[in-house]
Amino acid sequence: MHPFRKPLATLAAALALAACGPQEPVPTQTPAATEDSRTPAQREAERTPYELEAAFAKAGADFGVPADLLKAISYTETRWEMVRGEVEFEGMPAAYGLMGLRGEKLSEGARLAGVSEEAVRTQPEANIRAAAALLSSYASELKLDRADVGAWAPAAAKLSGIDNAEAQAQYIHQGVYDVMRKGAVAQTPAGDLAVALMPTQAQAKFPSPGVVSSMSADYAPAIWRASPNYNARPAGTDVSMVVIHTCEGSYSSCWSWLVNSASGVSAHYVVNESGSEISQLVLESNRGWHVGATYDCNLNGGVMCNLQGASVNNFSVGIEHGGFASQTSFPAGQIDASARLTCDITKGQTIVRDSYHIVAHGRLQPSSRTDPGPNWPWSSYISKVQGYCGASGNIVIDSNQANNDTAKGYVEVTGTSWASSSNVGGYYGSGYYASPTAAVSEPVTFYFYLPAAATKTIDAWWTSATDRSTTAPFIITNASGTRLATVNVNQQINGGKWNALGTWSFPAGWNKVQLSRWTTAGYYVIADAIQVR
C-alpha cells in the first residue's frame, strides 16, 4: 500500500450473531499499525456465535425467560450486534450491547442481574443477563404465564420503552414475534455462519397494529405519520441538502419518539432496517428539527459557503435509519430503499447528487454526532442514488480508494512524493493528493472500466490555490495503450467543481486518466477525482 494512500475507515469491532491558498505539507511516513489495537471489550464482543447461543440459553434458564424471545428482541433491536450507541436525540440515552439497553433500564437490569453497568455496556453475557432479569421482573409484575411465549409480548413491549400504541404493536408483531415465526440468520465479523433462530408458531398476545392508510404526500411508498415538531423554513430558502442519520435504535422506537411532542426533535423520513417500510413525519416543504448545528462550510469541503452560520435545518431534508453508527454494516434492503428515497428528494428539490449535498449528520455536527458511522457505504450509496435518478452511466473515481466501486474504477499512486491532504477546501469526497512538480512523471492514475466501446466525456475535480500549477498535465490513455491526449489545466482557478477535460472514444476494457508531476517547477499538482460521463 502506498504510504500516503488514504486509509479505509477503521471498522469498529462488533458482533453479528445467528440463532461510522496554503502550502501543501511535506509528506511524512504513516506509522505502522499495531499488532492488535482492539480493546478488551472489543475482543470480548467477538465471541463465537456458539458461545453466545449458550449465553442466551443460560440467561433464559437462570431468569425463567424464553431464550428465543431474548434472541428475537436482540435481533429486532440491534441485528445481533454488540453496539455501543450514541445519543442521537436529546432525551433518549445511548443504547448498548446485543439487547440495545439504555438509560434507567440498563441500570436496573444490571442491578437485577448482579453485574456492573460497565459490564452490561461492554460484555455480551452481562448485557443479555441484564435484559433477561428485566423481562423476568416484568413477567412477575404483569403475572404472565411464563410457559406461553406469546404471553410475554407485554413484557417485551415494556422493555422496548416505546409508548406510542401503534409503534408498540408494530415492534411486537412485525418485529420480535415475526422474527420468532420466520427465523433469522447472520454472520460473525469473521464470516462464520451462525445458527439460525428456528421458526416457531409463537403468537403474540398483544393488540394488533391498526391499518395504516394515510400515505405520504411527498413520496408515494412512504406512510404518513405526522410529527408536531417542525416549523416553516425561512422565506426564500431553497432546499439544497439531504442529511443522513442513524436512529441509534430500532425503527419503531425511532419514529414513535419523533412524533412525540415531548421529544422536541423530528426528521422528514425514517427508513426501517430491512427497507420494507418508510415513514414520513414532516413535509419536505417544512423545516424538520434533525441537526443541532449551524452550517460550517469548512466541514463540508468549502461548498455552499453562502449559507455559513445558518441552521442546517433551514435548507435540508433529514432521513433517519433504524440502526446504529457503530454497526459493522447496513442491510442491503435498507440502503436500496434509502437511495430510492434520496433520489426522489433530490429530483423534487433539485439537489445536486454528490457527497457535498448528500451528507452525514456527523460531518455537519462533529462535536457531538458521528452518524451514520464509518461503515455507511457512501460510494455505492451515492452511485445508487445517481443510478435511480438516471445517471447510472457516470463513473466517479475518487483519490480515496474507500469511496470507489473498484469493479468500475480505482486509483493508483506512483512514487513517494504524493501526500494525502485536505488543507484547501472544495475537495471531492474526503480530501485529495498533492505533489510538488518535478522533471519526473510519477503519476496518480485513475482507471475506469467500460464493458463496451463508448464515447465518454472526462471531467476532473481539484482544489484551487495560488501555489497550484497552471499547466497540470492530465494524460488520457485508452485500454489499448494509445495516448489520446494530454490536457494541461490551470489549477489556480475553477476549484471545487467538475471541469471538462474533453470527449474521446474509448474501447472496452480498463482505460485511464493520469495526472503527471512533470511540468513547470515550483508548484503543486492536485489529484482529487475524475468523472467519466
* Closest C-alpha among 511, 335, 338 to residue 408: 511
Q: How many CA atoms lie within 13 A of 429 on its CB side?
A: 28
Q: At what angle do helices 49-63 and 124-142 cross, to 10 degrees?
A: 30
Identify residue 241 by its one-letter amino acid code. M
Angle at alpha carbon of residue 434, lines to 428 and 440, rounded to 5°: 135
**Closest C-alpha among 343, 337, 370 to residue 271:** 337
Cβ atoms of 395 and 382 closer than 8 Å: no
Question: What are the grid coordinates assigned to 512, written together?
Answer: 485511464
- What tens digit of pLDDT does each residue of 336-394 get? 999 999 999 999 998 888 888 999 999 999 999 999 999 999 988 988 898 888 765 67
The C-alpha angle with vertex 292 and arms to 291 and 296, in degrees rounded to 5, equals 85
pLDDT tens column, 480-503: 999 999 999 999 999 988 899 999
Please tell me the predicted confidence (pLDDT) of residue 392: 54
pLDDT of residue 195: 57
pLDDT value of residue 44: 43
Q: Tell me the three cell numbers of residue 527.
A: 489529484
- Do 9 and 375 contact (CB within 8 A), yes or no? yes
HEC-encoded secondary structure of 145-169: CCCCHHHHHHHHHHHHCCCCHHHHH
Question: How much is the pLDDT for 172?
Answer: 97
**pTM score of the predicted model:** 0.70
CA distance 75 to 250: 10
Q: Are 530 and 487 in contact (CB under 8 A)?
A: no
* Dist. CA 424–CA 177, nearest whole Å: 53
> Using an 8 Å Cβ cutoff, are 443 and 414 in contact?
yes
Amino acid letter, residue 361: H
By CB atoms closer than 10 A (0-12, 13-18, 19+), residue 99 is buried
pLDDT value at position 379?
A: 81
Of 119, 123, 68, 127, nearest in space to 101 by CA? 127
Q: Decide: 464 and 496 in contact? Cβ < 8 Å.
A: yes
| CA proximity to 517, closest of 444, 411, 416 | 444
- Please name the residue ranges forming H helices in 225-331: 251-258
Give the separation between CA 296 and CA 350, rounded to whole angstroms: 22
Which pLDDT score is estimated for 31? 30
Percent of the chain with pLDDT over 90: 72
Give strand ranges (E) for 34-128.
83-84, 95-97, 101-102
Please tell me the distance from the alpha carbon of residue 337 to that of residue 115, in angstroms, as a whole number: 40
- pLDDT value for 19: 33
Helix ranges (H only) for 211-356 are 251-258, 332-349
- Please report, in angstroms and rounded to a whole number, the separation of the first and last CA atoms in the chain: 29
d(CA 1, CA 7): 9
Which region holds residue 11: left if phi is over 0, alpha if psi is between -120 and 50, else beta? beta
**Phi and psi based region of residue 457 (left: phi greater than 0; alpha: psi -120 to 50; beta: remaining):** beta
Query: φ, ψ for residue 281 (rounded to 5)?
Result: -110, -25
In the beta sheet, which residues pair with residue 410? 447
Dist CA 13 CA 44 (whole Å): 10
The length of the chain is 533
Neighbours of 507 (CB within 10 A): 14
Q: Residues with Cβ < 8 Å from 493, sequence gap 6 or more? A: 464
Run of H or E including 531 = strand 529-532
Q: For residues 279 and 226, what is the distance between their CA atoms, to the nearest angstrom?
A: 9
How far is the C-alpha of 479 from the C-alpha of 44, rounded, in Å?
Answer: 49
3-state DSSP assignment of residue 440: coil
Q: What phi and psi values does residue 15 have, to the nearest 5 degrees? A: -115, 135
Cell of 239: 432546499
∠ Cα 47 371 98 (to 5°): 25
Give CA–CA dist 368/89, Å, rounded: 11
Spell out, as residue ranges, where the chain has pLDDT lower than 50.
1-45, 47, 188-193
Say whether 358 sits in a helix, a strand or coil.
strand
